């Protein structure tokens, strides 16, 4: 999609979506005579009030919609002044499902969108390494470790994003997935037999299968209805994500301390759009992406304790498997990482190398965080 210039950011509504879509691919890259501002189209599947929107997307857009306060990077390579970056923002799935958004990104209809491996396991299988069990409890450590691998020169960037014309700008990692159920308390893996558990897909499906449950992949927005209708018996979720979807209203039990996996969601810009930007604008976008990542992971860490308290006050009972039950969970979860790596290796993907890189990257960032 050609980059456009305009004077102010806009929040597109669903009512105008069809007309907007018709015009998106016919945009001109020529600047307006009185402005050097650039407009990018950003679409995702989360409402602006979701933590991904409020602490990530909004931070990113707000920083870029204002002139650079320090004047850094105000000139591009041609010596021309670089303007602000404005946004046409389509939140809450206005442009389609998570899979749709990546297709729209790659085809040039949108410039920036999420690209989560959990929803794109056929396209980004190696990037699901962060979804494996037991890695991190700290969202910032997980995000920083993963973003190193998704940046130019990193193994995930070179193997999966660059070949698809995508460039990650920031990533969020929601760690410490637990199992929350409607009717059954989970004390050991055997308690999961016969249960259908909602997951985000990808590596988490294999983890639930190993534990004895039947994994049912679906968007988080569909979980409330599925739980209410008993289409699924529970969900694999981080506590921070329960409240935005009001799942505490239909859940009654939750494990604690299992950390069966995580969910990573990078926001990516198409490489075609990136190459149309001036070097100064690219630099500003990279900086804003780093700030969005820091803001988002800090919010996840800071808001999780309050989320747990609210969930408990809503009537959900928490249970930490112990004794023989905890031992059985450990026995089931311990080989999952290596099995994932071997499965990737068997289809010609560098799974073992990616797993080792992620473990090493986490160790570096854990040391740096101390």
CATH: 1.10.12.10, 3.40.50.1820, 3.40.190.170, 3.60.15.10. Which one for 10-173+268-302? Answer: 3.40.190.170
What is the pLDDT, as a whole number, of residue 367?
Answer: 97
> What 8-state DSSP symbol labels residue 169?
E
Look at residue 33 and tell me whether its pLDDT is greater than 70.
no
Tokens of 107: 């085809």
Judged by average pLDDT, the poorest of 35-39, 217-221, 304-308 is 35-39
Structural domain boundaries in the chain: 10-173+268-302, 178-262+305-369
d(C-alpha 65, C-alpha 63), whole Å: 6
What is the pLDDT, as a whole number, of residue 37?
Answer: 83
Look at residue 83 and tell me whether its pLDDT is greater than 50.
yes
CA-CA-CA-CA dihedral for 171, 110, 124, 169, to nearest 10: -30
Average pLDDT over residues 73-89: 69
Same fold, 10-173+268-302 and 178-262+305-369: yes
Neighbours of 308 (CB within 10 A): 18
Q: Is 44 exposed, middle or buried (0-12, 13-18, 19+ CB in 10 A)?
A: buried
Look at residue 12 and tell me whether its pLDDT is greater than 80.
no
DSSP-derived secondary structure for 260-314: ---EEEEEEEEHHHHHHS-HHHHHHHHHHHHHHHHHHHHHHHHHHHHHHHHHHHT
Judged by average pLDDT, the poorest of 30-34, 59-63, 154-158, 210-214 is 30-34
User: How does pLDDT run across 97-141, given as a tens digit for each residue?
Assistant: 999 999 999 999 999 999 999 999 999 999 999 999 999 999 999
At 70, is the pLDDT very low, low, confident or very high (cuts 50, 70, 90)?
low
CB burial string 199-220: b at 16+ within 10 A, e below? bbbbbbbbbbebbbbbbbebbb
Unique residue bearing structure tokens 């907007």: 20
Residue 233 near residue 183, CB atoms below 8 Å: yes
User: How does pLDDT run across 216-243, given as a tens digit for each residue?
Assistant: 999 899 999 999 999 999 999 999 999 9
Q: What is the mean pLDDT of the chain?
A: 90
Tokens of 55: 């602490």
> What 8-state DSSP symbol labels residue 80?
P
Helix crossing, 336-346 with 203-211: angle to 10°? 130
d(C-alpha 214, C-alpha 330), whole Å: 19
Look at residue 7 and tell me whether its pLDDT is greater than 60.
no
- The CATH H-level superfamily of 178-262+305-369 is Bacterial extracellular solute-binding protein, family 7 (3.40.190.170)
For 117, 164, 201, 317, the CA distances from 123, given in Å and listed in that order, are 8, 9, 13, 38
């Amino acid at each position: 999609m050609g980059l456009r210039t305009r004077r102010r950011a806009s929040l597109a509504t669903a009512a105008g979506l069809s007309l907007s879509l018709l015009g998106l691919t016919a945009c001109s890259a020529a600047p307006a005579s009185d402005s050097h501002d650039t407009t990018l189209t950003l679409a995702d599947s989360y409402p602006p009030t979701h933590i991904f929107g409020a602490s990530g997307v909004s931070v990113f857009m707000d920083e870029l919609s204002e002139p650079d306060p320090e004047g850094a990077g105000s000139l591009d390579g041609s010596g021309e002044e670089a303007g602000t970056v404005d946004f046409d923002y389509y939140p809450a799935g206005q442009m389609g499902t998570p899979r749709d958004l990546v297709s729209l990104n790659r085809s040039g209809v949108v410039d920036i969108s999420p690209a989560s491996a959990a929803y794109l396991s056929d396209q980004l299988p190696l990037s699901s390494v962060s979804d494996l069990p037991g890695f991190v409890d700290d969202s910032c450590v997980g995000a920083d470790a993963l973003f190193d691998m998704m940046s130019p020169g990193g193994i995930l960037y070179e193997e999966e994003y660059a070949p698809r014309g995508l460039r990650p700008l920031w990533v969020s990692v929601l760690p410490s997935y637990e199992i929350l159920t409607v009717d059954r308390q989970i004390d050991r893996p055997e308690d999961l037999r016969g249960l259908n558990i909602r997951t985000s897909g990808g590596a988490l499906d294999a983890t639930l299968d190993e534990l004895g449950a039947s994994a049912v992949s679906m968007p988080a927005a569909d979980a409330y209805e599925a739980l209410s209708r008993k289409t699924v018996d529970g969900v694999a979720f981080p506590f921070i994500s329960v409240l935005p979807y009001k799942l505490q209203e239909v859940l009654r039990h939750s494990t604690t301390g299992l950390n069966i996996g995580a969910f990573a969601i990078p926001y990516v810009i198409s490489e075609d759009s990136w190459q149309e930007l001036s070097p100064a604008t690219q630099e500003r976008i990279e900086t804003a992406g780093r700030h969005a990542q820091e803001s988002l992971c800090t919010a996840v860490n800071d808001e999780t304790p309050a989320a747990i308290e609210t969930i408990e006050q809503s009537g959900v009972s928490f249970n930490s498997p112990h004794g023989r039950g905890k031992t059985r969970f450990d026995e089931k979860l311990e080989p999952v990482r290596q099995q994932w790596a071997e499965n990737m290796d068997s289809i010609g993907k560098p799974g073992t190398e990616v797993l080792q890189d992620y473990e090493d990257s986490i160790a570096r960032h854990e040391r740096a965080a101390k």
